[in-house]
Amino acid sequence: MKHKKWKDGLFLAPGFLTYIVFMIVPVVLCFFYSFTNWDGFSPTYKMVGFDNFVELFQDAAFFNALKVTAIIMVVTVLIYNVLGILLAVILNGNTKLQNFSKSALFLPTVLSSVVVAFIWSYMIQTDGGVINTIIGFFGINPIDYYSSPLMTIFMMSIIICWNSLGFFVVIYVATLSTIPVEIMEASKIDGAGSVKTFFHITLPLLMPGITINSILSVAGGLKQYDHVKVITGGGPGGTTQTVTLFAVKEAFEYNFRGYSSAIVLVLFLIIIGLTTAQLIITKRNEVEY
Amino acid sequence: MKIAGKWIRRILILLFSLVFLIPLYIAIVNSVKPYEEVIKSPLGLPQAITFDNFIDAFNSSKILELYQNSIVITVVSVALLILLSSMAAYVIARRRGRFYKMLYVFALAGIMVPPVVTLVPSIKTLASLNLLYTLPGLYLFYVGTYFSTTIFLYVQFIKTIPVSMDEAATIDGAGPFTIFFKIIFPMIRPCTTTAIIFLSMWIWNDFLNPMYILGIKGGSTITTGIYSAIGSYTSQWNLVFANVILASLPIVILYLSMQKRFMQGMTSGAIKG
C-alpha cells in the first residue's frame, strides 16, 4: 500500500514531540543534573563528577529510606500476590456473594491515595481509633501504631494494600477464568485433592497473571509517596521516609536538585534491574496448555 | 465436608468484604455527625443526620473551584493523550520496516520511568516555556508521562483490525486522515474506553505532580486542595470526612455507574499486555 511519508509525520509528530520533551529529555537531564551541584534556580552550576553519588552512599538518611522502601515493597508484594491469589481462587465465580465481594474489594482502588490515607490515619489512632475499638471487643489492649518506625511502616504497607489489592485480585480472577474447566476437572478425576490441584495446576497456569502483577507490584512498591506523605510525612526524624519522599524533600525543601537527581537515578536503576530480573524469571516459568 | 468447605468459603468472603467496607462506612457515617458524636461513638449510626460538615467544607476549601480544576485537567489531558497516542499508534501498527519497530521500542521506553525522575527536569523545562504553574503545563507533562502506556494499548489493539479495512477505503479514494478518523477510530472504541478509565483514574487522583507543577499560583486540584484543607483541621474528623466524601464522590459515581466496564477495561488492558 502506498502512503505519503509527510502525512505519517503529521500522525507521529505531535505525540512524539511531547513525549520527547517531557519524558526523554527529562530522563537525560536527570542523568546530567546528578553530576552537578544545581540548586534549582541559580542560572549557573558546576559539574561535580561523582560527588553526589559518593555523598549518597555515605548518607545514613538514604540507606534508611532504602530500607523503608524495601520493607514496604516486600510486605505489599507478598500481600498483593499471596493473599491476592487466595482471594481470586475463592472469588472466581459468579454467585451474588462473589460479585458483591469483588465490587467491595475493587471500590478502594478508584479512591485517591490521599483520601485513603486520611481515612486510615483516623482508623489507626491509638485513642478512639476504629481498629483499636474493634480489637477491644475481643479483649485486646489498644495498640500504639506509631510506637516504632517498623510498626508504622508495616501499618502503612497494609493501608497501601487496602487501597490497591482489588486491582490485583481482579487481574488474578481474570487470569483464572481463562483456564479451561476441563483441565480442572481432569485433575479431579485423576484423584488430585484441592490443595494438590492448586499447586500443580492452578498456580502454574496463573503464571501470566503472576508476571504482570509481580512486576506492577514491585515497581509500585518502590515508588511509594502519597500515603506516607499524608500519614507520617516521613517522620519522626525521617525514620519512615521512602526514597521518593527523601528525593522530593531534597529537591524542593532544601533545593539540592543535583543531589535529588542522583537519588532518583539510583531508584530508577533499581526499578529497571528488578523488572528485568522478574521478566527473565517469570518468562522461564510460564507454561503452555 | 464439601458443605462445610462451602460455608467456610462464604464466611471468608464476607469477612474480607467487611474489611474493605468498614473504612468506607466509617467515612460516610462520620461525615454526617457533629464533632462530639464522632468522638463519643465513631462506629455507631448517626443519631440525626447533619450536613453542616459539608457546608463547612464547601465554604472553607472552595470545593467547587477544586472540582472545576480537576475536571478540566482530567478531561483535557485524557483527550490529548487519546488523540495523540492513537494517531501515532496507527502509523506504528500499520507500517512495516525497521524504522517503525525502533520507533515503537523508543515509545515504550517511558513505561518504566517513575514520574519522580521527570518531575524536577520538567519543572525547569516548563519554566523556560513560561508554562510553569499553569494548567497547559500540567497537560503537557501528563501527555509525556502517559504516552508510552497509551500508545502501547492502542498499537496492540489496532494490530487486531484487518488491514483490508484500510485498503478498501484507499481504493475508494480516502486519504489517511479520513481512514483514521472515519474508519479506524470508531473501531478502536473498546481500547479508548480502557484508556479513558486508566488515565482518568491516574490523573484525577494524582497528588505529587500537580502539587509542584501547579504550585500555589496555578490552583489546586481535588487531591492537593483536600490535602492542604485537611492539614489545617488537625483533628476535626467530622470535617475531614466531609472533605473525603466530596473528593471521592465523582470518581465513585463514575465507577459504580460503569462497574463492569471498569473491571473489563482494567483486565483487558493488563492481560493482553
Chain centre to alpha carbon of residue A184: 32
Structure confidence at residue A163 (pLDDT): 94
CB contact under 8 A, A33 and B120: yes
CB contact under 8 A, A8 and B91: yes
- SS3 call for A40: coil
Query: C-alpha distances in angstroms, A175 versus B19, B116, B188, B234?
Result: 24, 31, 23, 44
Task: Please say if the pLDDT value at position A40 is more than 90.
Answer: no
A193: left (phi over 0), alpha (psi -120 to 50) or beta: beta
Query: C-alpha distances in angstroms, A156 versus A70, A147, A224, A248, B243?
Result: 13, 13, 10, 19, 21
Whether this model's pTM surpasses 0.90: no
Residues 6+ away with beta carbon under 8 Å from A176: A88, A89, A92, A202, A206, A209
- Identify the burial level of B244 via C-beta atoms within 10 angstroms of its C-beta, where 0-12 means exposed, 13-18 middle and 19 or more buried: buried
R_g (Cα) of chain B, nearest Å = 23
- SS3 call for A227: helix
pLDDT tens figures, B249-271: 888 888 888 777 777 766 665 55
CB contact under 8 A, A271 and B112: yes
CB contact under 8 A, B110 and A23: yes
A198-202, B134-138, B261-265: segment of lowest average pLDDT: B261-265
Sequence length of chain B is: 273
Instruction: Please check whether residue A69 is in contact with residue A280, taking contact to mean a CB–CB distance below 8 angstroms.
Output: no
Alpha helices in B95-180 (DSSP H): 98-108, 115-128, 135-158, 164-171, 176-178
Which residues of chain A are within 8 Å of residue B124 when distances are taken between CB atoms?
Answer: 29
Query: C-alpha distances in angstroms, B76 versus B57, B71, B220?
Result: 27, 8, 16
A19-28, A145-154, A243-252, B2-11: segment of lowest average pLDDT: B2-11
| Min Cα separation B48/chain A (Å) | 21
Q: Give B86's pLDDT tier (boundaries 50, 70, 90).
A: very high
What residue of B is the nearest CA neighbor of A42?
Answer: B124
CA–CA separation, A288 and A73 (whole Å): 30
Looking at the DSSP bridge assignments, the partners of residue A47 are A36
Q: Which of A18, A101, A208 sits opposite B13 (nearest CB)?
A: A101
| Min Cα separation A118/chain B (Å) | 8
Which residues of chain B are within 8 Å of residue A113 when distances are taken between CB atoms?
Answer: 205, 207
pLDDT tens figures, B97-109: 899 999 999 999 8
Q: Which of A21, A113, A268 sits opposite B114 (nearest CB)?
A: A268
Which residues of chain B are within 8 Å of residue A130 when distances are taken between CB atoms?
Answer: 22-23, 26, 42-43
CB contact under 8 A, A7 and B9: no
Q: C-alpha angle with apex B231: B225 to B233, nearest 5 degrees?
A: 110
Range(s) for CATH 1.10.3720.10 in chain B? 54-272
What residue of A is the nearest CA neighbor of B39?
Answer: A128
Closest CA to B148 of A18, A209, A264: A18
Structure confidence at residue A1 (pLDDT): 47
Chain centre to alpha carbon of residue A139: 35
Query: Domain-by-domain residue ranges, chain A?
Result: 59-285
A93: left (phi over 0), alpha (psi -120 to 50) or beta: left
Residues 6+ away with beta carbon under 8 Å from A124: A131, A145, A155, A159
Query: C-alpha distances in angstroms, B97 versus B43, B94, B103, B177, B179?
Result: 64, 10, 10, 21, 21
CA–CA separation, B263 and A109 (whole Å): 11
Looking at residue A47, the DSSP 8-state letter turns out to be: B
CATH classification for the domain delimited by A59-285, as one of 1.10.3720.10, 3.40.50.410, 2.30.40.10, 2.60.98.20: 1.10.3720.10
CA–CA separation, B173 and B169 (whole Å): 6
| Min Cα separation A84/chain B (Å) | 11
CA–CA separation, A58 and A64 (whole Å): 11
Which residues of chain A are within 8 Å of residue B222 when distances are taken between CB atoms?
Answer: 112
CA–CA separation, B75 and B218 (whole Å): 17
CB contact under 8 A, B207 and A113: yes
Q: Give B72's pLDDT tier (boundaries 50, 70, 90).
A: very high
CB contact under 8 A, B205 and A178: no
What residue of B is the nearest CA neighbor of A133?
Answer: B43
Instruction: Please check whether residue B113 is in contact with residue A22, taking contact to mean a CB–CB distance below 8 angstroms.
Output: no
Q: C-alpha angle with apex A169: A165 to A174, nearest 5 degrees?
A: 155
Within 10 Å of residue A269's Cβ, how many Cβ atoms? Answer: 10
Q: C-alpha angle with apex A183: A175 to B273, nearest 5 degrees?
A: 25
Which residues of chain B are within 8 Å of residue A210 when distances are taken between CB atoms?
Answer: none
| Min Cα separation B186/chain A (Å) | 17
A42: left (phi over 0), alpha (psi -120 to 50) or beta: beta
Average pLDDT value for chain A? 88
CB contact under 8 A, A106 and B263: yes
Question: Per the structure block, which three cell numbers stand in for A83?
Answer: 493473599
Which residues of chain B are within 8 Å of residue A264 when distances are taken between CB atoms?
Answer: 114, 116-117, 120
CA–CA separation, B10 and A283 (whole Å): 35
Q: Which of B92, B144, B262 sits opposite A23 (nearest CB)?
A: B144
pLDDT tens figures, A1-34: 455 677 888 999 999 999 999 999 999 999 999 9
Task: Please say if the pLDDT value at position A238 is more than 60.
Answer: yes
Residues 6+ away with beta carbon under 8 Å from A283: A211
Which residues of chain A are within 8 Å of residue B97 when distances are taken between CB atoms?
Answer: none
Task: Please say if the pLDDT value at position B273 is more than 60.
Answer: no
Task: Please say if the pLDDT value at position B213 is more than 90.
Answer: yes
CA–CA separation, B221 and B225 (whole Å): 6
Asked if the peptide bond before residue B186 counts as cis, ω within 30 degrees of 0, the response is: no
CA–CA separation, B227 and B243 (whole Å): 10
CB contact under 8 A, B144 and A171: no
Q: Which of B17, B116, B143 sits opposite A22 (nearest CB)?
A: B143
ipTM confidence score: 0.87
**What number of CA atoms fall less than 13 Å from residue B125's CA on the CB side?**
22
Interface test with B, best of A115, A165, A172 (most B CBs within 10 A): A115
Asked if the peptide bond before residue B114 counts as cis, ω within 30 degrees of 0, the response is: no
Q: Which of B141, B208, B266 sits opposite A167 (nearest CB)?
A: B266
Which residues of chain B are within 8 Å of residue A27 when distances are taken between CB atoms?
Answer: 113, 117-118, 121
CA–CA separation, A113 and A129 (whole Å): 20
> Which of A24-28, B188-192, B199-203 has the largest mean confidence?
A24-28
Chain centre to alpha carbon of residue A179: 27
Looking at residue A36, the DSSP 8-state letter turns out to be: B
- CATH 3.30.70.1520 assigned to B54-272: no
Query: C-alpha distances in angstroms, B3 versus A5, A219, B10, B14?
Result: 67, 41, 11, 17
Of A242 and B3, the structure prediction assigns the larger pLDDT to: A242
